[in-house]
Structure formats: structure tokens, C-alpha cells
Amino acid sequence: MPKHHRPKPPHHRWITNSEAEVSVREAGRLMGLLAERLETTGNARLNNIPLDPPEKCRFVMRYEHKPHGELCVKVELIWLPEDSSDDVSQSSFDISSAE
């Protein structure tokens, strides 16, 4: 009897991606700026892309070993999108209010 396999979900895709070598203090400042926007307005813009999560989302914070021996702190807010947006990639961290 043939096995019925579920189709695999699509791989993740970045809507916007920023990476740079910065000091730990600058990383903290950027995370704090995003946290402040989310705390006060519930939304933000990241590299001019609206970030508008619903009132409730899944929050994940981890400290992990990566495959090549690196250590990593990850913070994620996870929710289902209402609609999809176009891919955008930038090399800057532009965090601002969505208003």
C-alpha cells in the first residue's frame, strides 16, 4: 500500500533582513528601540516594512549553540500573517514607529 505523505510546508523566507557587526551595547539599543515601539504602540516599521503583530503572539527567547561553535541569543515573536508581503533585503537596522 503506498504511503501518503503530507506536503512539506514552504521553507522560511525573510521579509527583511539586516546583519552587521555592532557592539553589544548597540545591539541592546536596537533591541530596546524595537521593544519600546512594540510596548507603546503594538507595532513598528523595520527597514520601512510595517511590523504589525496581532494583540496575542507566541514569544520565544533562546540562548543556543549554533552548528559552527557560535553562541546565539534569539528573540522571536511568532504569529500567522493576514496576508504576505514582498521580499526586501537591506543591510541597515531602521526601526521606527509605524505611525
Q: Which amino acid is located at 21 in the chain?
A: E
> What does the pLDDT read at residue 91?
53
Asked if residue 16 has pLDDT above 80, the reply is yes
3-state secondary structure of 28: helix
Asked if residue 90 has pLDDT above 60, the reply is no
pLDDT digits (tens, 9 = 90+) for 31-88: 999 999 999 999 999 999 999 999 999 999 999 999 999 999 999 999 998 754 544 4
Q: Which amino acid is located at 3 in the chain?
A: K
* Per-residue CA distances from 52 to 64, 81, 89, 99 (Å): 27, 9, 18, 11
Give rounded-to-5 percent helix, strand, coil for the chain.
Answer: 20, 25, 60
> What does the pLDDT read at residue 3?
66
Residue whose C-alpha cell is 557560535: 70
